[in-house]
Structure 1
Amino acid sequence: MDALTSQFLHRIGRSGSSITFDELSDVLEAAAWAIPFENISLLAHGTREITLASLMNKIIARREGGLCYELNTLLYFVLLENGFDVQLTRGSVYDHASQHFALSGRTHVTIILTRNDDCYLVDTGFGGNLALRPIPFSGTPVFSYNGEFRVRKAGTEHGDHILELKLKHKDTDWKLGYAFDSKSVLPDLREVNKVQQIIAEHPGSKFNQKPLVTQLTKDGSMTLTESSFTVWKNGEMTKEPVDTETYKQLLGKFGLY
């Protein structure tokens, strides 16, 4: 196996130089604990061309996090190196506050993995909503400490499948995560760079205005904004206000700066 897998595994605190399907859930958990979902670099530096080299430099060498188009694209290359049949596709995230799909359109980049004629959704770039498991397209739910997740076939204007979830301690009923099109895969990284451009420039984007950092932990999650720090631990939530100095200090909890 080439250097990418070894470096990625080292970045997420695992040893080895290859990944099997049976190990994928453990890899997804380790990645969620090690790599934050964040837009700090986008706000500070604007867009930069997305390539394998740039992703390795940002997430592995500089130990930063990223947004979906960075985190899932890097994982896509890792899985590809390990012989998995994987493709990238775009989805539209559902905004429950406004009760409609994201105004920025199909800007969620995610992974479709095919194994023995069965398809799975693999996602390490959905903030605190990570399944931490490959999710079969069959509709059968998967379970992790973060909740229950399933993929269902459903015809929408945003695609032919939807991801639904019930986050542990937060949801009692299934809720819509995002819709995606299993038949419209990305031919190359030009599409990923288009997504980055939209997220950086679209007035409806939630990631080009204020900083957001979120990361799963082994007993919950933590989320940092300019004004608050929210921690979920064993089903209990605490939220405290932050000022500029405290914000900079708290970035250290995510391994940033």
Structure 2
Amino acid sequence: MNELNALFRTRIGLSANERLTFESLDHVLALTAAAIPFENLRIMDQKTNEISIANLTNNLLVQHEGGLCYELNTLLYLFLIDNGFDAVLTRGVVYNYDAQAFVTLGRTHVTLLLMHEGQAYLVDTGFGGNLPLKPVPLTGETITSTNGEFRVVRVDNEHGDHRFEMKLKHKHADWRIGYAFDSRKPVTDLSEFNEIQRIIAEHPQSSFNKHPLLTKLTERGSLTLTNTSITQWEDGIMTKENIDDSRFKELLKQHFGR
């Protein structure tokens, strides 16, 4: 077992000697979503570094930080590959529901495709609170988890050949587009994600370079922290508290150990 594999298991609370199977991925994804937050603190602190195995291992597994999609899903990909899975990374274009349009930043979402017994599945642990928590087949079939309903439908447009859609539990009455991606264009070099990180960190239209944001799923819902508010969903009930910088630091330590 290599260092990343061992440290990843420790971070999410998975036994060092547990052999992973396709059937056990639900458990792994649930543990990962609860243990490793979606966050942009390195972007906000202007402390980004190269996307590499060594840096991902140090930042997320040694320093116990969280990350954005190109960090979280890349780390999961490396872990799955080391445990014998057939997986690739690919890039997607996020859909802005409020604007009813795909974002104009390009293919800045990184997601994961996994092959099992001749069937392709989407696996994503880097999409904020919108995580399916299970592999989603690229067949249009709806899968249901504690976080809601999810599906991947076939499309054919400039954004790709598939679209990830979701109906979050307690939040969405209708299906919403998450992002489009192209299953025919796997990423073969992790350094490609440095371009995504640069766009996210520097582009005026990026939503992740404006204020601190941390999100993680919990046993009863989700928790989202910014420098101005904390929002908690528990059993379908939302509570929101406006906060100042001092309270933000307290909550950052309390809920994220930072």
The alignment's TM-score, normalised by the length of structure 2, stands at: 0.97
Amino acid at match of 2:177: L
The structure-2 alpha-carbon separation of the partners of 1:39 and 1:62, relative to structure 1 and needing over 3 Å to count, comes to same
Contact 2:52 2:191 in 1 (8 A): no
Deviation at 1:53, TM superposition (A): 0.8
Q: Could you tell me how far 1:174 is from its partner in structure 2? A: 0.9
Deviation track 1:167-198 (CA, whole Å, cap 9, x = no partner) reads 00011111101000000111101211111111
SS in 1 for 2:179: strand
1:7 corresponds to 2:7:
yes
Q: Is the 8 A contact 1:124 1:130 kept in 2?
A: yes
Identical amino acids, percent of aligned pairs: 53
Q: Which residue number in structure 1 is paired with residue 105 of structure 2?
A: 104
Distance across 2 between alignment mates of 1:256 and 1:158: 38
Q: CA deviation at 1:141?
A: 1.0
- Cα distance, 1:19–1:4 mapped onto 2, change above 3 Å: farther
- Cross-structure match for 1:75: 76
Identify the residue that residue 228 of structure 2 maps to in structure 1. Answer: 227
- The residue number in structure 1 matching 2:217 is 216
Equivalent positions of 1:70-219 (< 5 A) are 70-219=71-220
Q: How far off its partner does 1:224 sit?
A: 0.8
Structure 1 residue 47: deviation in Å?
A: 2.6
* Structure 2 alignment gaps of length 5 or more: none
Q: Which residue of 2 aligns with 1:31?
A: 32
Structure 1 unaligned residues grouped into runs of 5+: none
Instruction: Please state how far the C-alpha of 1:14 moved relative to its aligned partner.
Output: 1.7
Structure 1 residue runs of 4 or more that deviate by more than 4 Å after TM superposition: none
- Residues 55-91 of structure 1 deviation map (CA, whole Å, 9 limit, x = unaligned): 0100110001000000000001001111111111000
Contact 1:156 1:179 in 2 (8 A): no
How far residue 33 of structure 1 moved from its aligned partner, in angstroms, is 0.5
SS in 2 for 1:45: coil
Give the TM-score of the pair, scaled to structure 1. Answer: 0.97
Mapped partners of 1:51, 1:239: distance in 2? 37
Q: Helix, strand or coil: the match of 2:214?
A: strand
Aligned residues: 257
Inter-partner Cα distance in structure 2 for 1:21 and 1:194: 32
